[in-house]
Structure 1
Amino acid sequence: MTEDEVSALVTEHRKLQLGTINPDGTPHLVTMFYAMVDDKIAFWTYRTSQKARNIERDPRVTCLIETGEDYFELRGALIYGNAKVMTEQNEVRYVGAEVVRRMMDLQDDDVAPFVEQTAAKRHAYIVEPVRVASWDHRKLAGN
């Protein structure tokens, strides 16, 4: 996929598979809702979650965004990068509000109570991309 096609895919979707590295080296995979902040993937999670502990120890992450049901519909992107943690509460609330707004298709007034209630227990993260791999099976065999 072109850079613009990858950007459109990442922008139009709301969920991704986040891979972090467990202490024993095995992958830890979870589905995460995300937002775009400064054209980068951003998410938030509870500070004590396994993914947060993994990122604290090793900031390398992989984000998988994919779509399609049949083989010739499959397309996706793997974004390899480093997760930058944000602990300052205004930043956490900002990222949280962006994620919740996108996750639930809500307006600002509807987002604020939920974000305020949970932000104190969370950290936010921005994924600094290092490498991207992508595919679009719609382009195969003239499809």
Structure 2
Amino acid sequence: MSKRAAIKLTDEELADFLAKERKVQIASIGKDGAPHLVTMFYTLWEGKIAFTTYKNSQKILNLQRNPVMTCLVETGTDYNELRGASLTGNALITDDPAILDPVGQAVGHQIIGLEPPTDLTKADPAVVEGIRHMMRKRYAVILEPTKISSWDHAKLG
């Protein structure tokens, strides 16, 4: 078995890793062809990386021109602790409330330092309404992955 194959995350490990992490580096392609790279808080929507951003943000302008983006989620300090996943695909940009509200609530709660609620009826109503108010100026972006690379250097022993 190759070293690359030995450190690859299984589908279950990848799903667990993405569910536990909170920050993602997002690369889109700028008008001049250069990468535009930012770090965002994210959640999973139907198992896919999802985040919100302002409707007039550079990310949205880039993704409207060219929907290809790469998302990098990584952790670890020492070499033997490095774990991560790079996911490339196309961005789905939406302001559909059925997607925007749950994605916005999950990410919005993280941004203010709260655990994302599993049941909005049990969350602080003022926080929920405040996040809904913020979402009026935002889109949800969902990555539809076409290529996934992953690694866990702890598997090297």
Unaligned runs of 5+ in 1: none
Q: Deviations over 1:55-87 (max 9, x none)?
A: 111111111000100011101000111110112
The answer as to 2:134 corresponding to 1:114 is: no
1:80 matched to which residue of 2?
88
| Structure 1 ranges of 4+ moved more than 6 A | none
Identity, % of aligned pairs? 43
Unaligned runs of 5+ in 2: 1-8
Question: Residues 1-143 of structure 1: matches in 2 within 5 Å?
Answer: 1-103=9-111, 104-107=114-117, 108=120, 109-110=123-124, 111-140=127-156, 143=157
Q: Which has the larger radius of gyration?
A: 2
Deviation at 1:11, TM superposition (A): 0.7
Count of residues in Structure 1 that have an aligned counterpart in Structure 2: 141
Q: Secondary structure at the match of 2:25?
A: strand
Distance in 1 between the 2:150 and 2:98 partners?
34
Deviation at 1:114, TM superposition (A): 2.4
Question: Structure 2 length as normaliser, TM-score?
Answer: 0.83
Q: Secondary structure at the match of 1:48?
A: coil
Contact 2:106 2:116 in 1 (8 A): no
Distance in 1 between the 2:116 and 2:97 partners?
21
| Range 89-98 or range 121-130, more displaced | 89-98
Alignment RMSD (CA, Å): 1.5
Task: Read off the aligned partner of 1:57 and give its amino acid letter.
Answer: R
Structure 1 pair 34–8 and aligned structure 2 pair: CA distance change class (3 A): same
Deviation at 1:129, TM superposition (A): 0.9
Q: Secondary structure at the match of 1:129?
A: strand
Task: Read off the aligned partner of 2:44 and give its amino acid letter.
Answer: M
Q: Deviations over 1:23-43 (max 9, x none)?
A: 111111111111111111111
Contact 1:89 1:119 in 2 (8 A): no
